[in-house]
Chains A and B, each alone.
Chain A
Amino acid sequence: MTVTEAPASPRLRWMTATARMVIDETPRVRSLVLDVPDWPSHKAGQHVDVRLTADDGYQAQRSYSLASAPGTDLMLTVERLDDGEVSSYLAGDLRAGDRFELRGPIGGYFVWTPALDGPLFLVAGGSGVVPLMAMLRARAAAAVKVPTVLLYSSRSAADIIYRAELERLAAEDGTLKIVHTLTRERPNGWSGYTRRVDRAMLDDVGFSPALRPRIFVCGPTPMVEAAASTLRSLGHAANLIKTERFGPSGR
């Protein structure tokens, strides 16, 4: 038995974040570039807790994935939900210069580091692309050339987050392939998929199970449930499929 002395873990403390820049990604999604003094760095895929304080002291707290690669400007990308108490502020009323608190980074499981081997298969639904974008940005920053595919499902072309940057990343790197599918629109001239992520698509776009790709799936619960089960039935090992879900099951 190996006894490892766990390092004393200091409490993750709340830090003040100041929005330096606000970027409208889509009609419902915004990225915030943040100044956080003393940010301790993070791994791609990790998240933070955000806490807002109203002028009467009322507070509200939620978790958001980080969108930025380690060592670059800290970025959150937030989808405004119709009933979202915190998202309607972060992706609505907030302006550059406004402040809130965050703490993190959190999570040691749904993470990618340049040391990971194997092909990388990323499957995103909607704003589930955010932690996967952090992975693609980290991969590009580290100039890692593991063969990588992002399969990204959006409602419509206008809902695709990071579209231009994804195109640029793929154009600059022959080992990266980006595949879009649209579930509610078939625009003129669109040559990509126009249906929900399904078995044939995962089989066509992804890597053979024999290559033991590392798979990260993030999106709304029903989409992640379906994709993860299908990937297993295609022969991918359960321990190579990491998932992050948001929202209710709908059941």
Chain B
Amino acid sequence: MTEPPISRGFRGRGRGDQSARVPPGQHLVTDFPVLSAGPTPEADLASWRFTLEDGESPLAEWSWAEFNALPQTDVVVDIHCVTTWSKLDTAWRGVAFDTLLEAAGLSEPPGPFTLVHCEGGYTTNVPSEDLVDGKAMVATLYDGEALHPEHGGPARLLVPHLYFWKSAKWVRRIQFLDAEQPGFWEENGYHIYGDPWREQRYDGD
């Protein structure tokens, strides 16, 4: 491997960022950038439903009130966006994916892969094993307040150990599948799995 060219005169000032908590190629931010492919959908909580499906078969469905009556989990996690920002110690509250499985009467995911569906047609794929054992939740509060629509409210998936596009905004349905099916960004050149620590940003990384 050849050495990268030195950018003459570039000093940089992020060396303090390179702690054990910041993956390669990332830098820390204190604000909360927004990235979405289209308009922010308006949620109607009266008609909002959250659904688990095995293939095409419904497994369980919750209204907004029912969803919020499920046992709630708080987490404080670091998040890493593929556009190279990372944010440490973000506080979320919501329903752990394990809790959803349990509430649906499932002891384990019925299929090895998921396709996550959102308001507006956005999808992303996540292996089932990356959602269980405390690794993921459906979050409804950020920093103690109702999740704002542009950050994915009323509810977004939170899978903090993968690049943040996997933490799909405006999540409505999680579909278990026997075969991996790429989601929206994954069809558009981004990595099928998206591990920030292996810098899996784009297809082929």
Contacts and interface: CB of A to CB of B under 8 A. Distances in A.
Contacts of A107: 188-189
A245 interface: yes
Contacts of B144: none
B33 A228 contact: no
Interface in B125-178: 148, 150-151
B13 interface: yes
Main SS class of interface, B = loop
Interface string A95-112: 100111100001111100
B115 to A, nearest CB: 15
Contacts of A16: 5
A113 B39 CA distance: 21
Interface in A223-244: 225, 228-229, 231-232, 238-239, 241-244
Contacts of B39: 228-229, 231-232, 238, 241, 243
A108 B4 CA distance: 27
Contact of B148 (A62, A229, A251): A251
A205 interface: no
B35 A245 contact: yes
B12 interface: yes
Interface size class of A (residues with CB under 8 A): 35 or more
A54 to B, nearest CB: 5
Contact of B37 (A89, A109, A229): A109
Contacts of A95: 8-9
Interface in A195-251: 221, 225, 228-229, 231-232, 238-239, 241-249, 251
A99 B27 contact: no
A14 B4 contact: yes
B150 A108 contact: no
Main SS class of interface, A = mixed
B25 interface: yes
A52 interface: yes
A37 interface: no
Nearest to B151: A249
A53 B32 contact: no
A82 interface: no
Interface stretch (B47-55, B71-79, B93-101, B197-205): B197-205
Interface residues of B, number: 45
B38 A242 contact: yes
Interface in A40-57: 49, 51-55
Given A62-B84, A221-B34, A225-B40, A94 B205 contact: no
B83 interface: yes
B31 interface: yes
A247 B34 CA distance: 7
Given A238-B39, A243-B36, A10 B204 contact: yes
A175 interface: no
Contact of A243 (B5, B11, B33, B37): B37
A12 interface: yes
A165 B171 CA distance: 43
B188 A99 contact: no
A168 interface: no
Contacts of B189: 106-108
A53 B10 contact: yes
B205 A11 contact: yes
Interface of B: 4-15, 25-27, 29, 31-42, 83-84, 120-121, 148, 150-151, 184-185, 187-189, 201-205
26 contacts: A9-B203, A51-B25, A52-B10, A53-B5, A54-B7, A54-B11, A54-B12, A60-B12, A62-B27, A62-B83, A63-B83, A85-B14, A85-B27, A93-B9, A94-B9, A100-B5, A108-B188, A225-B40, A229-B42, A245-B35, A247-B31, A247-B34, A248-B32, A248-B34, A249-B34, A249-B148
Nearest 9 A-B pairs (CB), nearest first?
A: A248-B31, A228-B39, A108-B188, A11-B204, A99-B5, A9-B204, A9-B203, A52-B7, A93-B9
